[in-house]
Amino acid sequence: MTVNRQWLLADNPNGRGLRDSDFRYNEAGIPTPADGEILVRTRYLGFDPAQKGWHETTSAYVVPVPIGGVIRGTTAGEVVASRSPLFAVGDKVAGMWGWQDYAAVKAVPDPLMLEKLPAERPLTASLSILGLTGLTAYFGLFDIGKPVAGDTVLISGAAGATGSTVGQLARIAGCRVVGIAGGAEKCAWLTGELGFDGAIDYKSEDVGQRMRALCPGGVNVFFDNVGGPILDAALARLALHARVVICGGISRYEQEQLPPGPGNYFNLVFMRARMEGFILLDYVARFADARRRLWRMVESGRLQNREDLQTGFANAPRTLMRLFEGKNVGKQLLEMD
């Protein structure tokens, strides 16, 4: 390859859904690494709903990508040139150098921005179960949700990458697990292959009514990836001393005006419950330990890692949009061509 294909940010998707016009295809020269840098070639891209926020001007916890900048996203690939003793040509690496074939990256090992990977481990695992997805599920559930064996754990967005991992981790911890997902096929995957104790199809069922049927003793831990009416319905089903984990709110990511707060919020008082949000960046120092634990569960067969793999760099914008259309099952990835 003689050019570096890139997707650049053309417009900020503030308060609306993503559009094709938000992305601009570009071809640049392949960069030359300077002293202390490596040249990486991208093999896979990872996709997360949070990416939309990174490209808005209102991003609350990271510096927004400027117009004309390379689309930010998680990446995995290999070193093809090195001017650092810390990395050799052929090393597998993962990081966040964005939507492009090649990038010159400072050779500074970092658990988020640049990580050398074990040669025997699949590249895609660094973007899924060992990437932002698995780490978000791990720290959100165990540090914020604090599940106890016998608890009922309810998860919204349960067929997504994070939600499906949360449910499996909760089962491993001895909890009863109920997932909320869109469509009969996703719900069947949860209760069949993943072994959830119950599933609610929000597209065809009365969510509140099904919560009452499947969580008769209330919800001890609610892991929320959606927000909106589903969060409100879950707040009405809290058990005493419940923990509500606010991980994401995909229902509001495309709204111009923020929706009103949940009407059932005062049940937090009645049930002496706690609702808490978190940002994964707060746990960077513990990434290595969490990754070791997660990979042991995968190798033992206790934890499944489903990946939804699309192909072709030209499809990158549409692949990100799949997340907001509810089309993905498991971690959304794209293999470069």
132-280: CATH superfamily: NAD(P)-binding Rossmann-like Domain (3.40.50.720)
- Is the CB of residue 78 less than 8 Å from the CB of residue 93? yes
pLDDT at position 20 is 96
User: In this model, does residue 136 exceed pLDDT 60?
Assistant: yes
Round to whole Å and give the CA distance between 134 and 166: 8
Task: Please name every residue paired with 332 in a beta bridge, in sequence order, or none if there are none.
Answer: 308
Q: How far is CA 71 from the centre of its chain?
A: 17
User: In this model, does residue 56 exceed pLDDT 80?
Assistant: yes
Task: Please name every residue paired with 112 in a beta bridge, in sequence order, or none if there are none.
Answer: none
Residue 62: pLDDT band (50, 70, 90) is: confident
pLDDT at position 326 is 86
pLDDT at position 1 is 66
Among 88-92, 158-162, 167-171, the least confident range: 158-162
Round to whole Å and give the CA distance between 24 and 323: 20
| Helix residue ranges per DSSP H, the chain | 50-54, 132-139, 161-172, 184-191, 207-214, 228-235, 267-270, 287-300, 316-325
Angle at 167 between CA 161 and CA 168, to 5 degrees: 90
* Strand order, beta sheet including 238-246: 198-201, 176-181, 152-156, 219-224, 238-246, 274-277
Token pair, residue 277, equals 């949000």
Residue 100 makes CB contacts below 8 A (sequence gap 6+) with 4, 5, 6, 7, 28, 42, 70
pLDDT single digits (tens) 287-305:
999 999 999 999 999 999 9
pLDDT at position 254 is 56
pLDDT single digits (tens) 64-89:
899 999 999 999 999 999 999 999 99
pLDDT at position 333 is 98
Q: Count how many residues are written for the chain.
A: 337
- What's the first-to-final CA gap in the chain, in angstroms? 11
Task: Please name every residue paired with 307 in a beta bridge, in sequence order, or none if there are none.
Answer: 331
Q: Is the pTM of this model over 0.75?
A: yes
- Is the CB of residue 332 less than 8 Å from the CB of residue 308? yes
Round to whole Å and give the CA distance between 45 and 19: 19
Q: Which residues of 55-76 are buried (b: 16+ CB within 10 A; e: fewer)?
A: bbeebeeeebbeeeebbbbbbb
Round to whole Å and give the CA distance between 283 and 142: 12
pLDDT single digits (tens) 112-124:
899 999 999 999 9
Residue 14: pLDDT band (50, 70, 90) is: confident
Token pair, residue 56, equals 């808005």
Among 142-146, 174-178, 235-239, 262-266, the least confident range: 262-266
Position of tokens 């949860």?
190
- CATH 3.40.50.720 residue ranges of the chain are 132-280
pLDDT at position 260 is 76
Coil vs helix vs strand at 56? coil
User: Which overall architecture, per CATH, does domain 4-128+305-335 show?
Assistant: Alpha-Beta Complex (3.90)
The count of C-alpha atoms lying within 13 angstroms of the C-alpha of 191, restricted to the half-sphere facing its C-beta, is 15
pLDDT at position 64 is 87
pLDDT at position 256 is 60
Residue 261: pLDDT band (50, 70, 90) is: confident
Average pLDDT on 15-38 reads 96
Select from 143, 294, 281 the least CA-distant residue to 223: 143
pLDDT at position 32 is 97
Residue 244: pLDDT band (50, 70, 90) is: very high
